[in-house]
Amino acid sequence: MTRVIRVRVNDQAHERQVEVRRTLADFLREDLDLTGTHLGCEHGVCGACTVLLEGEPVRACLLLAVQADGARVTTVEGLAAGGRLHPLQEAFRAHHALQCGYCTPGILLTAAAFLAEHPRPAREQIREMLAGTLCRCTGYQFIVDAVAAAAQAMSP
Amino acid sequence: MGARYVGAAVARVEDPRYLRGEARYVDDIKLPGLLHAAFLRSPHAHARFRGVDTARAAAMPGVVRVFTFADLEPFLKPLPVFGAPPPGLAERIRFTIRPTVQYALGPGIARYAGEIVAMVVADSRARAEDAAEALEVEWEPLPAVVEMVAAARPESPRLYPDWPDNVAVGFTHAIGDADAAFGAADVVLEERFRIQRYVGMPIEPRGVVAAFDRRDGTLTTWNSTQVPHFVQQGLATALGLPPGRIRVVAPDVGGGFGTKAAGYPEDALIPIAALALGRPVKWSEDRREHMMAAAHARHQVHEIALAARRDGVILAVRDHIWLDLGAYSGWGIVLPYNTVAHLLGPYRIRNLQVEVAAVVTNKTPSAPYRGAGRPETVFAMDRAVDCLARRIGLDPAEIRRRNYLGADELPWDLGMPYRDGNPLVYDSGDFRSALEAALAAAGYAEFRGAQKRLRERGIYQGIGISGYVEGTGIGPFEGATVRLDLAGRVSVATGAASAGQGHETTFAQVAADALGVPLDWVTVVGGDTAAVAFGVGTFASRSAVNAGSSVHEAATAVRAKLVRAAARLLEAAPEDLTIEDGRVSVRGAPGSAVALAQVIQASLPTFARAGVAAPDFEATACHHVPTVTWASAVHVVRLQVDPETGVVTLLRYVVAHDCGKVINPRIVDGQVHGGVAQGIGGALYEELVYDEHGQLLTGSLMDYLVPTAMEVPPIETVHLEYPSPRNPLGVKGLGEGGAISPPAAIANAIEDALEPWGVRVTETPVSPARLLALIGSRRTA
C-alpha cells in the first residue's frame, strides 16, 4: 500500500509516493539519499537517527514517512548554512567530540534544538540532554565540552 | 627531520565529512540493481534441523532467491580460525586444543540461537525479511549447554559428541614454586570472581555489500570490518579466487572495539550471493541480529588464591580460570593465554600456578573485545588484592606500594613467553609513579579524612584503585605504502582500517614529519585492500605501533628518494639537503629552496632531456614487530553508594597512563575516555543474560544498558610518557587500555564505600539489585 506525501526537508520541497510501512529514516536515507541520518537500533533507544520535525527532535526510526506528510524536516545535511559549518559542528571538531561519527548527526540535531531553548545551559543540563543518545566512542566528556563551547559562541 | 606534528594536538582531518553527514558507511552504499539479503536464524540454542521448506518464501513478491546449505555447499569452507600457539609458546606450554568447524550457513545443526539457517535475497530489505519469516524448518531440539563451569564437567551434555568434554582449549602453567610459597605464607586469601558476558556494542551494526564485475572478474565487497585483509584472505579461500581479484573496502566504520575484527558468516555469504546472482547484494545488520549474532565477550570465572606475608607482600598466585567461548572456538589460545599473561600485572610476584579451561556453550560465539582477557584478569587480581589488604588491615594504596614493581626493576622478565612466543619482558614504564600520580590527582589522602566525616552523616563514598600492564602493538607487521603525486602531495595507505580512532590524522602527522611536508598535503587511506597489498588490521592496540612504524619507515624511504633526486637537480651533496614545509634546500642556503613538485617533475623525462633521477617516489614498508611493547596505567575512581536504592554514582575518575610517546594528545584523551566509559558499562550496567534454555534475555538496547552521559563522570588523564624502546617512534598501544581497569577499580571503590557493612563484591555488573542483595545479606547477618 502506498501514499503520496509532501515534505519539506532542509528547505527543499519533495513530493513522493511511499509505502505506508516505510519509516521516516528509510525515506530520508533511501528515497532522498540523505544518508547522514544513521540507524543504530531501529527501536528508539540509541538516538542516532534523530532529526528535527518542525524544529523538535524526533526518532526517525520510530516515525513513518507518512506521519511527516506536510511537515518541515531538518537533517544533519541541513545544519551547515550556506556551506559554513554550524557553530555546533565547529565546536565538535575543536573539542574532539566525535570519533567514529556514527552517533554524531543525531547528537548535533538534538543539541541544536536544545540550545534554541537553553542558550546558556549548565553542564548538568547538557548531560541530561545528551542522555537520550548513545555514543560508544567518546565517553561523552568532549561532547559536553563542545556543546558548552557552542552555546558560548552562539550567545549574543 | 623535525617533529613538527608528532606530539601536537592537531584537529582531526577526517571530522568535516562526519559533521556534515557526508561520511560513507556500508549501509550508505547504493549500486545499480542492488538486492537485499535477510537471514533466517535459529530460534533454538541447540537443535538439529531437517530440510528448509523454501517453496512459500520463494514465491513471495520481490524474492530473487532463497539459499540453504544444500544450495551453497560447494562454496562453503569452514570459517577461518586463529590462535594456534606459535613457536616459543608451544614448546613451553602443553595446550589441549580442540578445533571447532563452523560453516557460514549451518549443515543441519544450530549451536546457538541466532546461527544462520538460510538466506533470502529480494529486491528490498523489507521483502527479504517478509520471506525469511515464511521459511519453514523442522526442528529437533537438543539439550542446551549454558553455564560454563557446569559445562566443563565430563557429565555435561556435549556440543561436540566426539569430544570427551566441552573444553576447547585447556592448559596448566606455572612459574616459580607456588606450592612452596603457599606453604610458607602467613596469609592465604581465596575468592571466586565472576565477570559477565558483555561486549563492544558499536552504534553502527555490521554490514556487507558485494558486487561482482564480470568484465574483469573482480569481486568488490564493502564491509564494516576492522580487518579488511583478513576478510580478503577468507574470501580467497572460500571462493577460490586469487586475493588480487578480491577487493575489500572498509569505508567509514561506526565503531569496532573488537566486535568487527572477527570473521563472520555474513562476510562470505553476501559475496557468494552476489556471485551466484550476478547482481550486487547488501545486508545491513539490525540491532536484534547484532545482539544475538555478532560476537560476545568477557565471560570468565576465576577461583583465585593469593599467598602473602603478614606485611602484605604477595608471594604467589594460584588461579583456576574458566572462559565461556560460546558455540565455536575461533580464537584458539588468544583469550585464555592473554588472560594468563596479564594476571600478574604491575605486581612483583615470582610464583604462579594456573589452570585454564576455555569452554564451549550453546551461546553466541565470543571474540576478543577491547582488552581481550585483560579486564577480566585484572578484575580477579585487583579484587583479590583489595580483599587481602582488608584481611590484614592495610590500605589498598599501601599494599600496592609494597608490591608494585619499581622503575629500577625494569626491564622485568616474568620468566614465561608472551602469546607471540617471545619472552614476556616488561620493557619500560614506571608503575609506582603512575600509582602515586593517580592517587595525587584523585586526592586520595585527603579523601580518607572526608570519607569518615561523610559516613557520620550517612553518606557512603568510596575510592578504588586498579592498575594494569598491557602487552600492546602485537605484530608481526602492518603494511603501509607512501606515494607522492606530481604536485608532491602524499597518499598513505595502510591495512590498519580506522573505526573512529583518527588514523587519518595520526598517520598523517607521522608521514608529514618524516617527509617534511605540511600536514594537509597528506591523505591517509585505511581499509582498502587495493591500496596496500599486505595488511593485518586494527585490533589489539596495535595500529600506532605497527602501522605507525611502517608509515614512518616508508615515508623515510620516500624522503631519501626525494633527497637523491634533489641532489642531482641542485648539484649538491644529499647529506647537505633538508626538506621543510614541502621544499628542499641546501642547509644554510634558504635561497636554494625548490618545491618538491619541481624535484618530482625534473625526474620525469621530457623530449629535451632525461629525468634527473628515477621517477620513483613511492615506498612500501611492513615494519617487523616481533613482540609487544608494554603500556601501563593506574585508575582511581571516587563514587557514592546509596545503601537504600543500591544506586552507584561515580564522582571522579582519574587515569594515569603510559602509552609511550604520544602522537596526538587530544586523540589519546579521547581513546582513554571512551575506553573508561565502556569499562564503566561493564562494571555497573551491561550484561548479556541467557536463560537456562540458551535464550538471550537482553536482546535490545532497552535491556542491555549502554552508559549514557549521565553515568559517565568527568575523566582526568595524566600522561606519563615512557618511550618504547621497541619501535622507531617510541609509541605503545592505547586503544584498549581505558576499558581494562574500571570494573576492578569501581568494584573496589564500592566495597570501600560500604566498608561498614563488610560486603564483598564478587561479580559484575554491580547492579542496584545485586548491591541491595549484598547489603541486605549483611544487614540480616
> Tens digit of pLDDT for each residue in A87-116?
999 999 999 999 999 999 999 999 999 999
For the cut 60, the answer to whether the pLDDT of residue B470 exceeds it is yes
The rounded distance, in Å, linking the Cα atoms of B243 and B248 is 10
Give B779's pLDDT tier (boundaries 50, 70, 90). Answer: confident
Determine if residue A47 is left, alpha or beta; phi over 0 gives left, psi from -120 to 50 gives alpha, anything else beta: left
* Inter-chain residue contact A101 with B19, CB threshold 8 Å: yes
Integer CA distances (angstroms), A47 to A38, A72, A90, in order: 9, 19, 21
Residue A94 main-chain phi, psi, to 5 deg: -65, -30
Chain A hits for B285, Cβ within 8 Å = none
Q: Which ipTM did the prediction report?
A: 0.98
- Whose cell is 569501581? That residue is B746
What is the rounded average pLDDT for all residues in chain B?
A: 96
Chain A hits for B702, Cβ within 8 Å = 43, 45
Measured at the CA of B597, the angle between CA B596 and CA B601, to 5 degrees, comes to 120
* Inter-chain residue contact B18 with A43, CB threshold 8 Å: no
Q: Single out the residue of B759, B762, B750 nearest to residue B777, CA to CA.
A: B759
Q: Which three cell numbers stand for residue B302?
A: 576465576
For the cut 50, the answer to whether the pLDDT of residue B1 exceeds it is no
pLDDT at B262: 86
The rounded distance, in Å, linking the Cα atoms of A67 and B101 is 48
Q: Which three cell numbers stand for residue B579?
A: 626538506
| Gap from A99 CA to chain B (nearest CA, Å) | 4
CA-nearest residue to A48 within chain B is B203
pLDDT at B2: 57
* Inter-chain residue contact B24 with A35, CB threshold 8 Å: yes
CB pairs under 8 A between A and B: 172
The rounded distance, in Å, linking the Cα atoms of B505 and B507 is 6
Beta bridge partners of B211: B220
Q: What is the pLDDT of residues B379-418, one digit of tens each?
A: 999 999 999 999 999 999 999 999 999 999 999 999 999 9
Residue B414 main-chain phi, psi, to 5 deg: -75, -10
Rg (CA), chain B: 28
Q: What stretches of chain A show up as alpha helix (H) in DSSP?
A: 24-26, 87-94, 104-117, 123-130, 141-154
For the cut 80, the answer to whether the pLDDT of residue B243 exceeds it is yes
Residue B756: burial class (beta carbons within 10 Å; 0-12, 13-18, 19+)? exposed
Q: Among B17-31, B179-193, B233-247, B385-399, which is the least confidently predicted range? A: B233-247
CB B253 within 8 A of CB B225: yes
The rounded distance, in Å, linking the Cα atoms of B637 and B444 is 10
The rounded distance, in Å, linking the Cα atoms of A18 and B231 is 37
Chain B hits for A19, Cβ within 8 Å = 126
Q: In this structure, which amino acid lies at residue B540?
A: A
Residue A89: burial class (beta carbons within 10 Å; 0-12, 13-18, 19+)? buried
Residues of chain B with CATH 3.90.1170.50: 31-90+99-141+200-293
Q: Single out the residue of B531, B536, B527 nearest to residue B253, CA to CA.
A: B527
Of the partner residues A42, A105, A126, the one whose CB lies closest to the CB of residue B21? A105
Chain B hits for A133, Cβ within 8 Å = 708
* Burial readout B330-360 (b: 16 or more C-beta within 10 A, e: otherwise): bbbbbbbbbbbbbbbbbbebebbbbbbbbbb
Whether residue B271 is preceded by a cis peptide bond, meaning omega within 30 degrees of 0, is: no
* Percent of chain B scoring above 90 in pLDDT: 95
Measured in whole angstroms, the distance separating CA B410 from the mean position of its chain's CA atoms is 27
The rounded distance, in Å, linking the Cα atoms of B127 and B121 is 9
Measured in whole angstroms, the distance separating CA B539 from the mean position of its chain's CA atoms is 5
The rounded distance, in Å, linking the Cα atoms of A78 and A80 is 6
CB A70 within 8 A of CB A7: yes
For the cut 90, the answer to whether the pLDDT of residue A125 exceeds it is yes
Q: Which three cell numbers stand for residue B357?
A: 579451561
- Report which secondary-structure segment, H or E, holds B656: strand B648-658
**CATH code for B394-472+628-780?**
3.30.365.10
* Inter-chain residue contact B706 with A138, CB threshold 8 Å: no
Helix, strand or coil, per DSSP, at residue B549: helix
- Taking the whole predicted model, whether its pTM rises above 0.90 is answered as yes
Residue B491 main-chain phi, psi, to 5 deg: -115, 135
CB B482 within 8 A of CB B490: yes
Whether residue B742 is preceded by a cis peptide bond, meaning omega within 30 degrees of 0, is: no
Q: What is the pLDDT of residues B13-40, one digit of tens each?
A: 999 999 999 999 999 999 999 999 999 9
* Inter-chain residue contact A134 with B502, CB threshold 8 Å: no
* Percent of chain B scoring above 70 in pLDDT: 99
Residues of chain B with CATH 3.30.365.10: 15-21+475-621, 394-472+628-780
Chain B hits for A42, Cβ within 8 Å = 286-287
Q: What is the DSSP letter of B11?
A: P
| Gap from A97 CA to chain B (nearest CA, Å) | 8
B300-308/B187-195 β-pairing: antiparallel
* Burial readout B217-250 (b: 16 or more C-beta within 10 A, e: otherwise): eebbbbbbbbbbbbbbbbbbebbebebebbbbbb
The rounded distance, in Å, linking the Cα atoms of B504 and B12 is 8
* Inter-chain residue contact A93 with B24, CB threshold 8 Å: no
Fold of the CATH domain B15-21+475-621? Aldehyde Oxidoreductase; domain 4 (3.30.365)
* Inter-chain residue contact B203 with A89, CB threshold 8 Å: no
Residue B748: burial class (beta carbons within 10 Å; 0-12, 13-18, 19+)? buried
Q: What is the pLDDT of residues B652-705, one digit of tens each?
A: 999 999 999 999 999 999 999 999 999 999 999 999 999 999 999 999 999 999
**CATH code for B31-90+99-141+200-293?**
3.90.1170.50
Determine if residue A119 is left, alpha or beta; phi over 0 gives left, psi from -120 to 50 gives alpha, anything else beta: alpha
The string of DSSP codes covering A11-36 is: TEEEEEEEETT-BHHHIIIIIS--TT
Q: Which domains does chain A have, with CATH numbers?
A: 2-78 (3.10.20.30), 87-154 (1.10.150.120)
Helix, strand or coil, per DSSP, at residue B610: coil
- Report which secondary-structure segment, H or E, holds A98: none
Q: In this structure, which amino acid lies at residue B285?
A: E
Chain B hits for A99, Cβ within 8 Å = 255, 500-502, 670, 674
The rounded distance, in Å, linking the Cα atoms of B547 and B496 is 6
Integer CA distances (angstroms), B215 to B212, B218, B232, B242, B248, in order: 9, 8, 20, 16, 18
* Burial readout B451-463 (b: 16 or more C-beta within 10 A, e: otherwise): beeeeeeeebbbb
The rounded distance, in Å, linking the Cα atoms of B287 and B704 is 11
pLDDT at B781: 60
CA-nearest residue to A140 within chain B is B709
CA dihedral of residues B765, B770, B771, B772 (deg, nearest 10): 160
Interface test with B, best of A74, A140, A142, A143 (most B CBs within 10 A): A140
- Enumerate long-range contacts of B66-71, CB under 8 Å, 24 or more apart: B66/B118, B66/B119, B66/B120, B66/B121, B66/B131, B66/B135, B67/B105, B67/B118, B67/B119, B67/B120, B67/B121, B67/B269, B67/B272, B67/B273, B67/B276, B68/B105, B68/B117, B68/B118, B69/B103, B69/B105, B69/B106, B69/B107, B69/B108
The rounded distance, in Å, linking the Cα atoms of B472 and B410 is 17
Q: In this structure, which amino acid lies at residue B499?
A: A
* Inter-chain residue contact B19 with A104, CB threshold 8 Å: yes
- Positive or negative, the Cα torsion across A77, A82, A88, A90? positive
Q: Which three cell numbers stand for residue B560?
A: 631519501
Give A43's pLDDT tier (boundaries 50, 70, 90). Answer: very high
Residue B16: burial class (beta carbons within 10 Å; 0-12, 13-18, 19+)? middle
Q: Which three cell numbers stand for residue B436?
A: 602515586
- Positive or negative, the Cα torsion across B10, B16, B21, B25? negative
* Percent of chain A scoring above 70 in pLDDT: 100
The rounded distance, in Å, linking the Cα atoms of B285 and A40 is 10
Q: In this structure, which amino acid lies at residue B159?
A: L
